[in-house]
Amino acid sequence: MIHDFDRPVARIAGTGHATGTRILTNADLEKMVETSDEWITTRTGIKERRIVENGVVTSDLCVDACQQALDEAGVSPHEIDYIVLGTVTGDMKFPSTATIIQSKLKAYNATTFDVSAACSGWVYGIEIADSLIRAGRADKILVIGAEILSSMTNYNDRKTCVLFGDGAGAALLVRSNDDRGFLSTYTGSNGDLAHLLICEGGGSYKPGKNRDIPSEDFTIYMNGNEVFRHAVRIMDHAALTALEKARLSPEDVDMFIPHQANIRIIEAMKKRLKFPDEKVFVNIQKYGNTSSASIPTALDEAKNQGRVKEGDVILVAAFGGGFTWASAAFRL
C-alpha cells in the first residue's frame, strides 16, 4: 500500500538501548572456530559483539531500554497504551515477551504483543504504532526491537557465529503536535525466500519435544551469498520507497540508519544512494548484527553522540529473514 503523509501524527519522544555485557571479540572467535580477525573484519566490518550473561533474558534488556525512553520523555509506565516488540528470540514460546515487559514495567494499561519479522521487526512495529496513533486508537506506544541471538547461534558454524550479537533498542512514540514525526513508513515480505535464512526448530514443524531433531535445527541457518545479494537490492528499494512516499530525495536526509548486518551491504547502499560518510550511521564494529535491535540501538547512539538532533530528517531501512523488509522516514 502506497500512502504519502501530509502531516506527521506520531513522533519519537524518547529512545534507549541495552546490550549484553560480555564482549565477544574476533580474537575470542579465533579460539572457537577456524576463522581470523582479518577475514571477519574485511568480510563483515565486525570487531566485537555484546553477549548476555547466563540468566539474562530478552525482556530484561527491553525493560532497561524502555526505562531510558520513558525517562527521556517524562512519561510513566501507566500512560502507555501499547507495547509492541519485534523479536524472534523472546523469553518463551508464550506468553508474548511484550506481556512480560508489561509486567516488569508495571504498564498495566497497555495492550501487548510481539511481531515476528526478524531484522525488520522494529520498523514493522513502527508502522503498526504510527498507524494506531494515526487512527486515534492510542497516544503513547513503546516500540522495541530486541534479540538474544546468542540463544540460537551455532557456535560451531563459522559462517554465522561471527555475525550475531545480543541487544535491545526502544522508542516511545507519542502524538505529535508539530512538524516532527513519521513522514512515511513502508513494509514488505516474500515468503518464497524463507529457506535462505531460517531457524526451523522449536515450532510445530520441528517441535522441541521431539528428541530426534538435530540440535543444529534449533539454530540459525543462512545462505550468506544469496542473502547478501537480495539484501543490497531490497534495502535499496525499501530506502528509496520510504523517501518517495515522504516526497523526499536523498539530499534531504540528515542521517541514514541502515540495519547493521554487514559493512559491505552498508557501503554498497551508501554508494548507490550517494550518501556521504557523515550521513550514514555505522556501529556494526561494536555490536555485530543484533537483528531487530540494530536500528533503534543505532538511533539512540546517534542521539547520545550528537550525530543527530531534534528536527533532523532520518531515514531507516531494514531487511531480514522471511524475507521481510521495512523502512521509514521521520523528522526527529
Q: Is 119 a catalytic residue?
A: yes
> Does 117 sit near ligand ACO (CB under 6 A)?
no
| Residue showing cell 522508542 | 171
What is the rounded distance in angstroms from the CA atom of residue 70 to the CA atom of residue 119? 24
Nearer to ligand ACO, 287 or 319 (CB): 319
Number of Cβ atoms within 10 Å of the Cβ of 103: 13
Active site residue 259: yes
- Exactly one of 24, 63, 320, 332 binds ligand ACO (CB under 6 A); that residue is 320
35 binds ligand ACO (CB under 6 A): yes
217-236: which residues touch ligand ACO (CB under 6 A)?
A: 224-225, 227-228, 231
- For ligand ACO, the nearest residue by Cβ is 224
Task: Give the number of residues in contact with ligand ACO, rule: CB under 6 A.
Answer: 24
225 an active-site residue? no
Phi, psi torsion values for 317, nearest 5 degrees: -145, 135
Taking the CA atoms of residue 274, residue 279, residue 281 and residue 285 in that order, the dihedral angle to the nearest 10 degrees is 70
44 binds ligand ACO (CB under 6 A): yes
Give the range of 3-11, 128-136, 238-246, 315-323 binding ligand ACO by CB under 6 A.
315-323
What gap in Å lies between CA 294 and CA 319, rounded to an integer? Answer: 11
Q: Is 39 one of the binding residues for ligand ACO (CB under 6 A)?
A: yes
Residue 283 Cβ vs ligand ACO, minimum distance, rounded to whole Å: 16
| DSSP category for residue 53 | P
Selected from 142, 240, 255, 261, the binder of ligand ACO by CB under 6 A is 261
Which cell numbers in the block locate residue 116?
A: 515476528
Residue 153 touching ligand ACO (CB under 6 A): no
Question: Which CA distances in Å does 159 have to 40, 42, 62, 156, 220?
Answer: 10, 14, 28, 9, 10
119 touching ligand ACO, by CB under 6 A: yes
Which residues, in sequence order, are CB contacts of 83 under 8 Å at separation 6+? Answer: 66, 98, 101, 102, 105, 107, 110, 111, 112, 113, 141, 142, 144
257 binds ligand ACO (CB under 6 A): no
By the criterion CB under 6 A, which residues form the site for ligand ACO?
Answer: 35, 39-40, 43-44, 118-119, 158-159, 162, 197, 224-225, 227-228, 231, 261-262, 265, 289, 291, 319-321
